[in-house]
Amino acid sequence: MTQTKYIRTCSIWRALEVVGDKPILLLLESYWLGTRRFSDFQRQTSLLKSVISNRLQKLVDAGCFQKTLYSTKPERYEYRGTEKLLDLYPVALSMFYWEQKWGRVNGKILLSLIHKTCRQQTLPKPVCNGCRVEIDPRDVTWAEGPGVGLMPAVYGRRRRKTRSEKDLITPLFDEIADIIGDRWSALIIRSVFTNLNTYQDICDDTAIATNILAERLERLCTMAIVEKNNGVYKLTPKGRDIYPILIALMEWGDKWYAAPEGPPLLLTHKSCQEPLKHQMACTSCGESVVAQDIEFEFSIQQDHTHAVM
């Protein structure tokens, strides 16, 4: 019998147990673009029926979706986002921001966002709520919070990925979905952010099986997210920009999964000395953006179709 390993309690870890999965990200992406029904999810994502029903159920069980009957004969359901799901919107916007800056360009959906309140085109960026400066990990200090402790590193079982699943295209998030949709990669990056940056440190911090860890580290190097120097892994600028996404995930995890005593980790923004709180700010008017404030238009690069939702 293998011994249970313990790792430090972490809201990012808890959040990734729900969203650190590529089919889930693909379904959420489709949801943000307006999809609500099973058949539409199928058409939009090209995922296998069994995968869709498994992941939608997982999102229902996690309290992110509510199933609502919209037809009785035949019995058909719609999936509506709950408050918990709406709270993931900053995560989605942070991923979108990263993808626009660093992601592959080919065949990507071109999406332009309009901020309804200022009527301007916008690409919301992650800022500190206190001083409105763009979040940079080098400006953040951290301390143990009241919820700090150890938890067993029990990773929820996943089905083995089929080949077609690995090749899935997430048109909006694309490259970032390869990282956030793979909880191992995201957890490795989390470790490096906290200066745990040798192979052994990362191994102890994440309790990831050594063969998976070695493979993911190599992949993150190939993707130019981290670079290895004298046995130490360091984030590149491209990797550093993943930080706000992890912060958004952490806040979501803190809100929905933290222990009653409070969050495990407290972050302070150096420039304003306030507790770091992640906000997505409109690049035109500077105001914080929530889901209801955004309208979008998209077109697909290859065939020049254009649609407004």
Binding site for Zn ion (CB under 5 A): 115, 118, 128, 130-131, 269, 271-272, 282, 284-285
Cβ distance to Zn ion smaller for residue 70 or 142: 142
Q: How far is the CB of 118 from Zn ion (least distance, A)?
A: 3
Q: How far is the CB of 92 from Zn ion (least distance, A)?
A: 18
Q: At residue 277, what are phi and psi to the nearest 5 degrees?
A: -125, 125
Q: Which amino acid is at 302?
A: Q
Cβ distance to Zn ion smaller for residue 140 or 196: 140
Cβ distance to Zn ion smaller for residue 68 or 271: 271
Q: How far is the CB of 12 from Zn ion (least distance, A)?
A: 20
Q: At residue 112, what are phi and psi to the nearest 5 degrees?
A: -110, 135
Cβ distance to Zn ion smaller for residue 136 or 201: 136
Q: How far is the CB of 237 from Zn ion (least distance, A)?
A: 21
Cβ distance to Zn ion smaller for residue 68 or 141: 141
Please spell the DSSP secondary structure of 12-63, one letter per residue.
HHHHHHHH-BHHHHHHHHHHHTT--BHHHHHHHH---HHHHHHHHHHHHHTT
Burial of 304 (0-12, 13-18, 19+ CB in 10 A): exposed
Q: How far is the CB of 139 from Zn ion (least distance, A)?
A: 8
